[in-house]
Amino acid sequence: MTDATLQRIAKLDGQYHSYATVHAERSLDQAKAADAEISRDLWRGPLHGVPIAVKDLCYTTFAATLAGSTIFKNFVGDRSKVPF
């Protein structure tokens, strides 16, 4: 599913510009980790392993929190936090 999602982003995002940043390698690594957990009967629920997109308003420790602005192009949060 992650591979298909990344392929679709690669195919369409040039036209739609939907993603500020795509972390393909991180996504694939996390998908492999989820598959390994599931194969060991460590299932975290029906969305375990499903790829998601995180709005660039959410603080993350692994990517810039752009907030739709070039002013914040180098701002990376010191913690991950969803603002709701």
- Asked whether residue 14 falls in the same domain as residue 49, the answer is yes
Q: Which amino acid is at 73?
A: K
Domain hosting 65: range is 54-84
46 shares a domain with 16? yes
Residue 83: pLDDT band (50, 70, 90) is low
* pLDDT at residue 84, rounded to an integer: 42
Whether 48 and 60 share a structural domain: no
Reported as a single tens digit per residue, the pLDDT across 29-43 is 999 999 999 999 999
Residues 14 and 47 in one domain: yes
| 45 shares a domain with 70 | no
Positive or negative, the CA dihedral 14, 17, 21, 24 is negative
- The Cα–Cα gap between 57 and 65 comes to 6
SS3 state at 10 = helix
Q: Residues 34, 7: one domain?
A: yes
Report the share of the chain in percent with pLDDT over 90: 58
Query: How many structural domains compose the chain?
Result: 2
